[in-house]
Structure 1
Amino acid sequence: MSDPSEAPTDFAPRAGRGVTAATRQRLEALHTRAKACLERGDHDYAHDLLTQCIAEDPGSLIYAQTFRANIAKKYAGGGKKSSMFGSLVGKTGRAAVAKAAGKGAWTEAFTAGCQALKKNPVDLPVLRELATGCGELGHTETQLFYLRWALDLDLHDVETNRLGGEATAKSKQYEQAIACWQRVLKQKPEDEEARRAISRLSVEQTLHEGGYDHELLKGEGATPDLPAIRVSDLASKESDGQPRRPATISAEPAAEESIVPPLSREELEEVVEEEPKNLTAAGQLARILHVAGESTAAIELLRRTLAASPDPESPDPESPEQAKLEEAQLQMTREHVEATQDRAKATRKPAEIKQAKQAMVLSNQAELEVFAARAKRNPASVRDQLELGLRLKRGGNHREAIKALQAARGDARREAEVQLHLGECFQHIEQFKLAASSYEAAIKASATESAHASEETHKLALYRAGVLALGLGDLDRAENRLTELAGHDFGYRDVSDRLDKIADLRKNA
């Protein structure tokens, strides 16, 4: 009898082809063995087992996640990791993967890719080939997973960001797609493909968020390119001295008005100084500063502009321009955090680490201000209340976070998440009964949700409830919740150690 761990050589996944029940059962057994190897430190054997899983089922996100976790654990360990990774840069196994993929031999392609990562765990070209293969087979989740992995290794790699921009755009993740293309543009300021992509995706994002039918708006022909920005759109004033609102974008410029290049940085600075409430000019200038590497100045500019606008006396305090500027501010803060963390990881210099921490503080404060303003404008918006509550919690203001989170309980789809955050906030302020009640509500809500994202929420809620009960001396409840968690995932955090502790406490009682 052949070894059941041996992958069949005649299996070649095809786009749209599913995995049979028998194959799935065999792969799950291999995955379980691989996780056990990972836990005891036998990373090479775990890698081989997971290679078989991925080669036969490249669309499984769980297999890919365990595969990456095994590599991360194998190479964890300070200086040794850094020196080894550094010596591997430039060595790639991409050719073998691309050759097999070109023949449609997907099992061989994914096997070659996994074997290449065993030799060089920072092989960006191989990760890109794996992502491309997943994309061709229609496995969007794993495609994005491999691209995210590659970006974690090098956030500013041009080719990875190109692929990321294309893949996330297809998934209608416009914000992520724009961020990828912006990183391309930052590395290659003259890249016309990146400029066109950002322009196109910004329009598609607006249409998507507004619920517009893109095909109806296009009409008979293709959507024309947007014209260049007019000086008059940004800086001209009407006869009453008030800033003129930008004209509606049209396919062709008006006959009497010529198209000129966008305003320069210096010109925009003058406009912003004269008109501190000019949202359009502030947005343009902030983008220039951000691309130039002056992200802190860009974020501060947007904060000042948003604080000055809109006019508190206005009957309609929210405008599309303001919402767009808020989104730009959030995006810039996230990119700034990513960039500073990337530098800190690469250099390990105290100054870079300090800057990364400062960027996190700045990001949370900017997000807090945006969502506080939105929650104030739209007190009935469950989403805005939840986002505000999360930022307050992250900033350590647990009492105010509780108020916002309680206002966000109206969305049944996010009930488990909200209750879990409430429980953690109550526990921080030592309201243990309320915390326990919230954890139980989170367990109940996540058990009834079908979304994949609720699985982690369910496990964390069980863990929080069990640990809190153990701390309060309620051994029965602690044992029940932690045992239930162990039934889902015995390797979750320190659940097995805590169950052993409960057993010891019962023996010594």
Structure 2
Amino acid sequence: MASDSASSSDDGPSADGPAEPSAKDKEIAKKSWQHGNGALSKQNFDLAIQMYYQASQKDPGNLLYRQSLRGAEKKKYKDNGTGASMKGVKLMGVKGRIKKAKAKKDWAALDTAAEEGLKIDPWDVEMNLSVADAAEGREYYEIAKFAVDAALASNKEDVKLLTRYANLLEELEEYEPALVLWGKIKQITPDDPAIDRKLTELHTSKMIKKTGGEEGEGTAAMKQKSTAYDEASGRGDDEVDGPGQDPVSDLKRLIRKQPDDPNPRVRLADLLFKSGKLKQAALTMKEAAELSGDISIKERYEDMMLAEMRQEVDASKQKARQLKDEKRLARAKKYEAQMNDKAVEILTRRAEHHPKNMKVKFDLGGRLLARKEVAKAIPLLQQATTDTRLEQAARVSLGEAFLMDGKRPLAKRQFINALETIDIHEQPELFLKCHYALGRLAEEAKETREAEKHYSEVLGLDYNYRDANDRLTKLSEE
């Protein structure tokens, strides 16, 4: 029978789900991954990649192994975003194998070929999507989600990719982020009636999951399982009777069963973070980082920790302003300064580990600028302008740095250069900052017409931006 051959295959999913690697393969994968961590700590990227690659092939459904592999591949190429030189020639044979594997629906062969291609260019969209195809074919939906997310990094408005990602979220029962994503798709294609139907389906699925209703049960049955009284008495959503009802509870059970495996903790931290539980997420990712020794997991913990600190700072400042409490506001600003100091410490370390990562240098430069450490910030921001993805924002920050340093001609040049490529619709805040700063510089230089021109550009986009209106009025009266 077809189902029998499928269930006995090592490469395809069984009738009940994906084929599970043998205990021996899992052990090999774990040891390979650990060897990879050791190699990575010594910056032996080729060996780390080979070890992580072996781990991901032996245990293809393990998300942590893929994340470690991709992180090492990107570090090898110093986060250049393009991979190896002459990659077109190097990928020709890989693309032929991918085409052949897809035609045969040989998911294991497809995964192997695509991962070979990602060793050459870990940012390649086609290779990442081929990993996703292979993962979906074997029902490794977390891996598919990871791969599609990578493809989306350079195609953020691609409706086809967004739809695929949203469908994977639904498959994984991550209904809340799926709803958010479908909302974005609706903004891009507002006239598609199918999107409204999908949103309705997802809301229904979310409700069923929340109430514990099984497929095929009616509304009355669902109401019996979670009533208003249950929720009021604390017996509703938070009470989970067994496996499969709540992914967070399932992962916590898995952590208790596999206390030395960091992977469930990574997955749990991601879930907690997406649900807004930033403190729990950061603590869980910290545990995973301490267990694994993996630099990439440590960096994800640091990002979560900073996000948690930012959330607390914003909440404290908002509360202080609501109460008009100056002492509370002062405490919030002091905590914000501590947060900024911590971010500088983390980003300084990352800039050393990732010398070609301009995003890190841009972020560090901005943090140093907030601390008025202009001499340290300027070289970092100058380097960040070489990255086309960051150029406009980096030039604006560099202009602000030169202003703080009293070098007005240099500041003016940065603002003018930035405006040449700023998209007013995509980057309105940068547009406003540039024209306002140029208006102030022109006003100082007694260049009244030039100042009026820049302030008019500001008011044309945002009539209430800072004091541009007052300044323009004053100039016109002189």
Q: Same fold (TM over 0.5)?
A: no
Comparing both chains, which one has the higher relative contact order based on Cα–Cα distances under 8 Å and sequence gaps of 6 or more? 2
- What's the TM-score bracket when you normalise by the shorter of the two chains? 0.3 to 0.5
TM-score by length of structure 2 reads 0.42
TM-score by length of structure 1 reads 0.40
